[in-house]
């Protein structure tokens, strides 16, 4: 069973991607928050569950979070959109982590050699702190960090706690912005826009955060020592 499990998981991933494209094609989902909103609104009482599903499986549908999450604010308003978006992010993270943890680096090493060790070191360097920062950041690359956390065997409790703590931050930024899209040019729209930009820029202004992110990316940088 241990030998066949990785194969089954790879098949599962392939099926999810294929199924995602079939679903997207049949539903006619376009790459815009308005298209996602129209789809969700058309589903009546099932709208909340479908929205969480879209956020959870967005990678398999090739829908970035910057497109899906604002639709939550458009449809459900800022508060409920934040809650549903955060739930979808958490579920997505848990699925990716579980699959990567089940595959394991021992299965990858014979196929990819030394590249696996390098990937593992970078993922381990991320740790729960970077998992949280990337989750909260509006444009943080969540997917590779989640896969990497599973391959590097970051403790599940620490990983899930980091995601649960910070997923509402990203969901709020996009839901607040999405809730203002029907009224562009209003003070609330500009406040939401500024907050979204600041959420993306301010974390990167800290040299320690930048240095750690670059280490995860495989680049060594000199970090100033605080006196």
Q: Are 137 and 75 in contact (CB under 8 A)?
A: no
pLDDT in tens, 84-96: 999 999 999 998 8
Mean predicted confidence (pLDDT) in 9-24: 66
1 three-class SS:
coil
Report if residue 227 sits inside a domain.
Answer: no
Per-residue pLDDT band at 221 (split at 50, 70, 90): very low
Report if residue 122 sits inside a domain.
Answer: yes
Mean predicted confidence (pLDDT) in 159-176: 92
Quote the CA–CA distance of 148 and 119 in Å, as a whole number.
Answer: 7
Is the pLDDT score of 32 beyond 80?
A: no
Report if residue 222 sits inside a domain.
Answer: no
Report if residue 130 sits inside a domain.
Answer: yes
State the total domains in the chain: 1
Mean predicted confidence (pLDDT) in 173-181: 86
Mean predicted confidence (pLDDT) in 147-176: 88
Q: Are 108 and 10 in contact (CB under 8 A)?
A: no
Mean predicted confidence (pLDDT) in 128-153: 81
The token pair that represents 34 in the structure block: 């308005």
φ, ψ for residue 197, nearest 5 deg: -65, -45
* pTM (predicted TM-score): 0.73
User: What value does the mean pLDDT of the chain take?
Assistant: 74
Range of the domain at 44: 4-216
Report if residue 226 sits inside a domain.
Answer: no
Quote the CA–CA distance of 73 and 16 in Å, as a whole number.
Answer: 27
Q: Which of 36-40, 118-122, 124-128 has the lowest mean pLDDT?
A: 118-122
Report if residue 76 sits inside a domain.
Answer: yes
Q: Are 188 and 73 in contact (CB under 8 A)?
A: no
Nearest residue to 86 (alpha-carbon basis) of 20, 165, 8: 165
pLDDT, residue 187, reads 81
Report if residue 225 sits inside a domain.
Answer: no
Report if residue 46 sits inside a domain.
Answer: yes
Is the pLDDT score of 167 beyond 90?
A: yes
């Amino acid at each position: 069973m241990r030998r066949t499990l990785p194969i089954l998981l790879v098949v599962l991933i392939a099926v999810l991607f294929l199924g995602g494209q079939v679903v997207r094609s049949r539903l006619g989902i376009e790459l815009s928050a308005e298209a996602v909103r129209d789809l969700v609104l058309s589903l009546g009482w099932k709208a909340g569950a479908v929205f969480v599903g879209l956020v959870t499986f967005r990678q398999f549908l090739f829908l970035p979070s910057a497109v899906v999450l604002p639709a939550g604010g458009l449809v459900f308003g800022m508060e409920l959109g934040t809650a549903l978006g955060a739930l979808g992010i958490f579920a997505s993270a848990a699925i990716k982590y579980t699959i990567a943890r089940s595959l394991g680096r021992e299965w990858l090493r014979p196929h990819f050699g030394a590249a696996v060790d390098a990937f593992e070191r970078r993922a381990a360097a991320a740790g729960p702190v970077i998992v949280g920062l990337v989750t909260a950041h509006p444009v943080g690359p969540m997917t590779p960090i989640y896969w990497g956390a599973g391959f590097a065997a970051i403790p599940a409790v620490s990983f899930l706690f980091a995601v649960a703590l910070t997923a509402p931050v990203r969901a709020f930024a996009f839901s607040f912005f999405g809730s203002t899209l029907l009224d562009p040019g209003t003070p609330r729209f500009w406040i939401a826009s500024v907050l979204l930009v600041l959420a993306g820029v301010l974390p990167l202004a800290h040299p320690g955060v930048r240095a750690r992110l670059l280490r995860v990316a495989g680049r060594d940088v000199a970090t100033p020592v605080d006196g």
